[in-house]
Amino acid sequence: MQKTWKIQKYTSVTSTNDLAKETAEDNVVIVADMQTAGRGRRANKWISQDGNLFFSQVLTAQTTVSNLAFVSSLSLAEAIYHFDNKIDITIKWPNDILINKRKVAGILIENTPKNKAVIGIGVNLISNPSGDETSYLSANLQAEGLKLSKEQLLETYLKFFDINYADCLRDFGLIRAKWLKFASYINQKIKVKRQDRIDEGIFKGIDEQGLLLLEQKDKITAIAVAEVFF
């Protein structure tokens, strides 16, 4: 079913995820021009530069956080692709958006104490952190030749999200199939970091739960939580 998202705009917040968790009202999208304490995954900070897009959606999710990671990353990749189908846009498992192999957007999904899900998304629209500010290479859409307003991208993302969320509730396999078309490094060598170990192998895609499939010698391991490197 199509959701009606209520968009609430702020000039400056600590983190749109924090405000979304406090508000915790279904179908609200908190958008801010600035974040003073933007957060990333694994306790990293999200460097929030002026002119980029920062927003968080609140919903009572009828699916898992893991499935939402695939729904939201797929929807964002589709939204960007919608504006430029020549762009080399891929998704690094589970939910980093890359352009030409450099990170252009990140997603942080959290639960509220009242069991709602908050999907927080940061997109580098017009600028990105320099190489020494992050442990990965980053990019921005404008420098890649795609000039989009915050409103254009958010509206298009939400349209794709509604379609993909409904598909996910019907059958996660539909999302899996579409997500795999955008997946970075399929059938290529990757490094997978889990706690204190790093494994190298071939990325064989994801299983029916979204677990990463890593092939080493003749064995395939399904991995739930890890960081992927190339």
Sheet holding 53-59, edge to edge: 6-13, 28-35, 53-59, 117-123, 102-111, 96-99, 89-92
Closest CA to 48 of 61, 36, 63, 31: 36
Question: Can you name the residues that pair with 24 across neighbouring β-strands?
Answer: none
What is the nearest approach in angstroms of ligand BTN to the Cβ of residue 220?
Answer: 27
Q: Is 39 in the site for ligand BTN (CB under 6 A)?
A: yes
- Least gap, CB of 39 to ligand BTN (angstroms): 4
For 55, 189, 212, the CA distances from 48, given in Å and listed in that order, are 11, 31, 29
Judged by CB under 6 A, does residue 15 bind ligand BTN? yes
Contact flag: residue 16 with ligand BTN (CB under 6 A): yes
Find the part of the chain contacting ligand BTN (CB under 6 A) among 21-29, 116-124, 174-182, 216-224: 116-124
How many CB atoms neighbour CB 4 within 10 A? 7
Exposure class string for 55-85: b at 16+ Cβ within 10 A, else e: bbbbbebebeebbbbbbbbbbbbbbbeeebe
The one among 47, 98, 107, 214 contacting ligand BTN by CB under 6 A: 107
What single-letter amino acid sits at 171? D
Site track for ligand BTN across 69-98, x = CB under 6 A: ---------------------------x--
- Selected binder of ligand BTN within 69, 121, 141, 158 (CB under 6 A): 121
Residue 44 interacting with ligand BTN (CB under 6 A): yes
Residue 114 to residue 15: CA distance in whole angstroms: 19
Contact region with ligand BTN (CB under 6 A), list: 73-81, 101-109, 153-161, 177-185 = 101-109
Total residues at interface with ligand BTN (CB under 6 A): 19
What are the two backbone dihedrals, phi and then psi, of residue 21, each rounded to the nearest 5 degrees?
Answer: -70, -35
40 binding ligand BTN? (CB under 6 A): yes
Q: Which is nearer to ligand BTN, 5 or 46 (CB)?
A: 46
Q: Which stretch binds ligand BTN (CB under 6 A): 41-49, 183-191, 199-207, 216-224?
A: 41-49
Name which position in 80, 89, 108, 206 contacts ligand BTN (CB under 6 A): 108
d(CA 104, CA 98): 5
Q: Give the DSSP letter of residue 136.
A: S
**Of the two residues 109 and 211, which places its CB atom closer to ligand BTN in the complex?**
109
Q: Which residues bind ligand BTN (CB under 6 A)?
A: 15-17, 35, 38-41, 44, 46, 54, 56, 96, 106-108, 120-122
